[in-house]
Amino acid sequence: MYPRKLVLEKGDTVQLHFDSLNYEPHSATFPVDVGKEIVRGSFYPSCDPDGDAGPGPDNPPDLEAPPFCADPTQLELNFDPRFVPVGGNGTFRGADLESSGVRGLLSPLGDDNWDLAFTRTSGDEPFRYLCLVHPWMRGRVVVR
Ligand SMILES: [Cu+2]
């Protein structure tokens, strides 16, 4: 996410690099509000007595702290389905989700670079993005 603030011309494409992230994957997810919504819908525990294949529901955690379930084999950690995969079509227009997905050497997506085009000016407020894995990691893009 360096530089923290990137200044572009309308129509520019940015290539984000994820190589050398051997043990710590990251994402670049636009816009920041959608990224925050994905983070809020992820990492929450539930207890599923019959597993994913069973018809029974996921239950709220039995315990407030790990292992969360009275029977630890029932523990599930839930993620928003938009957390890991690539999101969008590679062109950011200011509101819809565009996400690199979670990338790094050990990620299912690998550590390939990711291109994102900017076809709209950002106006008074820069476009803001974050990393879904580390939501405090953020950057801004000004498109003129
Ligand atoms: Cu990160």
Cα 61 to ligand 1 centroid, rounded to whole Å: 27
Phi and psi at residue 13, to the nearest 5°: -120, 135
Cα 63 to ligand 1 centroid, rounded to whole Å: 29
Domain 5-41+81-143 has CATH 3.40.50.300: no
Cα 57 to ligand 1 centroid, rounded to whole Å: 32
In tens, the pLDDT along 67-122 reads: 999 999 999 998 999 999 999 999 999 999 999 999 998 888 999 999 999 999 99
- Going from N- to C-terminal start, the domains of the chain cover 5-41+81-143, 44-78
Cα 14 to ligand 1 centroid, rounded to whole Å: 18
Cα 36 to ligand 1 centroid, rounded to whole Å: 13
In tens, the pLDDT along 19-54 reads: 888 889 999 999 999 999 999 999 889 999 998 889
Q: Cα separation of 69 and 61, whole Å?
A: 6
pTM: 0.85
Quick one: DSSP state of residue 35? H
